[in-house]
Chain A
Amino acid sequence: MAEELLNTNTPEVVEHKKDKRHMGLTASRTISNTVIYFILVIMTVVWLVPFIFLVLQSFRVESTGMVGYIIPEQWGFNNYVNLFTNTKFPKWFMNTFIIALATAALQTIIVLCMSYTLSRLRFGGRKFLMNFMLVLGMFPGMLTMIILYRVLADLHMTQQNSIPGLILVYAASSGMGYYVSKGFFDTLPKSLDEAARVDGANRAQVLLKVILPLSKPIVIYTLLTAFMGPWGDFAFASYIAFNNSNGMNVAVGLNSLISTPASIGKNYTMFCAGGVVVAIPITVLFLFLQKYYVEGVTGGAVKG
């Protein structure tokens, strides 16, 4: 084996071999890259096509039901006009917007309080509290809905007044979702706190003047996820609104447009238009803050 190698390793052969190897690598890389590009293009199509269909169908004028083709024969804004004038969509949109804003504010405060405390302060019962919340989290949240509905109904916070009720439901137990931001606070060096304490700051000052200015990414991540949550929630929102069209959020409202076969024929394109109207602001906001979202998601998965 070794002799063979010796024999063949004359300069020309080596040069030739190098060339061949080089050529082979490039060729195989080109092929594999082509395959990958092909897969990626197909994926792009598969992932984007439903949304493109959604937009196209929202502009269809000639029929309002479901059809077997995609590109409208007649284009127009009729569905959007109908959506805003003939349904309670503006009300649903405002409901959801108010709920999302209030939830984002409250939930961010609650989650940050919880995660900061668990991450950077040491006190008796800390481990117990964490284990307790872990166990609580194993109960399906849906279970609490029955009683919460009855209690909120007694407080007149359901049906047409569902906004305060839903805000309470979303924000109140959000403290249990502290994991991602605790992971963030865990990574800030402890010496920051110690230095501030040596300089005579009390713990509240440490939080407000030292840690909070460094926490911009996690604050934005929490705000973003808390704001986006109410737009997609279906179970609680439909339970609390209880078929009252004034108290629905966009998910429940748009679903009510197409809940029966008869109404699909009438409202299908309107539903598509509604989907587009809801998706655009959320998507724009999301793309602007994408960086923070990605950081949060990645960190959260690693920390568990």
Chain B
Amino acid sequence: MKKYSSLEYLRLTKIQRFFYKIACFFVGIPQFFKKIGLAIVKFAKKFGIGVKDEFKDLVMTFVNGDYKTRISYAIMGFGSFTRKQYGRGILFFLFEAIFIVYMALAGGYWISMLPSLGKIGPHQEYDPIWDVWVPAYGDNSFKILLYSVLTIFFIVAFIYTWRLNIKQNRISEEIIGSMPKRCLEKEKKQKIVELKKNNPDLSTEELSQKTKEIEDEYNQKIEEVPSKPLKSTKDDVMSLIDNEFHKTLLALPVTGILIFTVMPIIFMILVAFTNYSGQANGYTNHLFHWVGMDNFNTVLVWSNSGGASFSATFGEVLAWTLMWAFFATFSNYFLGMIVAMIINKKGIKLKKWWRTVLVLTIAIPQFISLLYVNKMFSYTGVINGVITNLGGTPVHFMDDYAEPWVSRLTVILVNIWIGIPYLMLIATGILMNIPADLYESAQIDGANVFQQYMKITLPYMLFVTGPYLLTSFTGNMNNFNVIFLLTGGAPTMINTPPNAASVGSTDLLITWLFKITTTAGSKYYLASVIGILVFLVVAIISIIVYNIIPSNKNEEDFQ
């Protein structure tokens, strides 16, 4: 397709422009995937080169290093310790000692059990003293999987530290100058050998003179190699509050994230390939074991067993989740913006009071308002009381007898009630930043209020809040509280498979996941498959939107 320059674009009529934009979008899609593919290839190349360089450095350090460096390959920290960097040396050595002891005592066992996830399940053992059968515990699959993950973490950390230890030796030798000197010494010898080899017809005198020249040259160079003292342990500690301050600051947060987020996520990804559930927890009940892609097949592949398919249910819940995220995000966004604008409007009095009323509802903990609103909309609640008093018949808004669409609509409406105050706050701040002269000149040009909104307010808002819209979309996809406390997923879907944990029409993937893990049977493996799929959906949407929204491309221009 031909790409128009901006002048050519301006010459198009409105309809042409519209179609041009659509065409651009579709032409852009393959290019977008091409871009992603190229990025992956580039990354792989970079990664390959990186690995190659690392190995080259390892070998070269061994060849050029002194005995201290070479011993450090086996005994970590030896080089640092003998070069009087006691703190580093002791830390390296301790780490290695702990690692070896751990691997010998426990780590090896866990890793060896990983392929089977345990062999002896819980069983009964005969107790000859009391003449009874008592329950005995065999291998614990849960612990095997958990500690295997931890052990793998530990092994990776060890390899990294070992590499660091060797790098440290090289850097130390470079600082005190011993390694460059040794390199030059080698070069000198090589040159002399080459000289002899290349000029066999030279006389002894000439040869010794040339050799001397080379020796002088290199001795000069060797003498010029700078030699600086190494950092002492005290310097190391001091640098932690100065040049290496980021390490001090990040230690606590990153450790927390590794233990409480990264490790559980890796564990749960692995669970998706097992049959870990309340019925097979690996300790009090049966062992669990690897099942390959079975769980993904259950969730994603259509199978009509007994009139209900898990994948069909999954599709319905996913569709509602996306629909909910879309409506929840944009209804709040536009209505919140409109509320902010009418409060901001010139001539409206008591601005502060209107805002405070709305902000007040943010302050009240959400579970109170949600549970209370839930009760207000219940069949015997206040709203139905008012309806009956007015002569109508009570409506099932969000209980198990409700129509799915009534329930969904009610949830979206209540969510507007919850969300508008936040959006009003955000929009108020941004609207005040729009230069007033833009509006003045628009007024002079004869633009009415609607045109001003479409041409000034909306583009500005969209530009500034683009990333926010994305995060709030994905946040709404995972909006557990609103759905769970408001409807609990009700009304229950009919015709769902027995392992779907009585999923409801207003259930999002996230509340469904919660239900699956908390109801009888606790099918953790299905829950983790759903979790992984949620991640994939969120990631795909984020990647696409990040490449479309303008705020991401020229971030700095508008700051």
Contact = CB atoms under 8 A, between A and B. Distances in A.
Interface of A: 29, 33, 36-37, 39-40, 43-44, 46-48, 50-51, 53-54, 66-70, 109-111, 113-114, 116-117, 121, 123, 129, 133, 135-136, 138-148, 150-151, 168-169, 171-176, 202-204, 207, 228, 231-232, 234-235, 239, 250-251, 254-255, 258, 264, 268, 271-272, 275, 278-279, 282-283, 285-287, 290, 293-294, 297-304
Given A43-B339, A48-B357, A143-B265, A272 B372 contact: yes
B268 A114 contact: no
Contact of B481 (A109, A203, A232, A283): A232
Interface stretch (B245-253, B292-300, B498-506): B245-253
A51 B358 CA distance: 12
Given A147-B267, A298-B430, A175 B253 contact: yes
Given A117-B250, A138-B474, A204-B242, A268 B375 contact: yes
B384 A68 contact: yes
Interface string B253-265: 1101101111111
B531 A143 contact: yes
A127 B225 CA distance: 36
B256 A40 contact: no
Contact of A239 (B342, B359, B471, B518): B518
B513 A297 contact: no
Contacts of B248: 204
Nearest to B465: A301
B514 interface: yes
Contacts, number: 261
18 contacts: A33-B348, A43-B358, A47-B358, A50-B369, A54-B372, A68-B384, A113-B250, A140-B531, A143-B527, A148-B260, A172-B261, A173-B261, A231-B365, A264-B375, A282-B363, A287-B360, A301-B465, A301-B468
B535 interface: yes
Contacts of A294: 359, 425, 429
B388 A139 contact: no
A176 B264 contact: no
Interface residues of B, number: 97
Contacts of A175: 253-254, 256-257
A68 B380 contact: yes
B528 interface: yes
Nearest to A43: B339
Contacts of B256: 110, 171-175
A228 B339 CA distance: 25
B551 interface: yes
B339 to A, nearest CB: 7
Main secondary structure of the interface of B (DSSP, over half): helix
Given A142-B514, A278-B365, A255 B485 contact: yes
Contact of A283 (B243, B364, B388): B364
Given A133-B257, A145-B517, A172-B260, 10 more contacts: A43-B339, A48-B360, A109-B252, A121-B245, A140-B513, A142-B478, A142-B514, A203-B242, A254-B371, A268-B375
At the interface, is chain A mostly helix, strand, loop or mixed?
helix
Nearest to A251: B367
Contacts of B381: 66, 68
Contacts of A39: 342
The 3 closest A-B pairs by CB, nearest first: A68-B385, A304-B467, A298-B429
Contacts of B382: 53, 68-70
Nearest to A303: B467
A142 B531 contact: yes
B260 A117 contact: no
B465 A140 contact: no
Given A50-B376, A113-B253, A123-B246, A279 B527 contact: no
A251 B480 CA distance: 14
Contacts of B468: 300-302, 304
Nearest to A48: B357
Contact of A203 (B241, B417, B428): B241
B267 A251 contact: no
Interface of B: 142, 146, 238, 241-243, 245-246, 248-250, 252-254, 256-257, 259-265, 267-268, 271, 339, 342-343, 345, 347-348, 354, 356-369, 371-373, 375-376, 378, 380-382, 384-386, 388-389, 417, 421-422, 425-426, 428-430, 464-468, 471, 474, 478, 480-481, 484-485, 509-510, 513-514, 517-518, 524, 527-528, 531, 534-535, 538-539, 542, 551
Contacts of B429: 294, 297-299, 301-302
A135 B264 CA distance: 15
Contact of B362 (A254, A278, A286): A286
A140 B471 contact: no
Given A146-B268, A175-B257, A254-B371, A286 B250 contact: no
A110 B252 contact: yes
Name the residue among A37, A133, A172 with the largest chain B CB count within 10 angstroms. Answer: A172
B228 to A, nearest CB: 21
B257 A51 contact: no
Contacts of B527: 143, 146
Contact of B539 (A40, A135, A204, A287): A135
Contacts of A250: 365, 367
B402 to A, nearest CB: 16
A147 B268 contact: yes
Contacts of A66: 375, 378, 380-381
B241 to A, nearest CB: 4
Contact of A255 (B371, B425, B517, B518): B371
Nearest to B268: A143
Contacts of B467: 303-304
A133 B417 CA distance: 32
A283 B265 contact: no
A203 B245 contact: yes
Contacts of B384: 68
Contacts of B465: 301-302
Contacts of B474: 138
B261 A176 contact: yes
Contacts of B361: 47-48, 51
Contact of A142 (B354, B362, B510): B510
Contacts of A116: 249
Contacts of A46: 417
A283 B467 CA distance: 29
A138 B358 contact: no
A232 to B, nearest CB: 4
Nearest to B481: A234
Contacts of A47: 357-358, 360-361, 417, 421
Nearest to A96: B365
Nearest to B467: A304
Nearest to B383: A68
A144 B417 contact: no
A129 B258 CA distance: 12
B365 A228 contact: yes
Nearest to A65: B380
Contacts of B249: 113-114, 116-117, 121
Contacts of B538: 138
Contact of A297 (B347, B366, B422, B464): B422
A232 B367 contact: yes
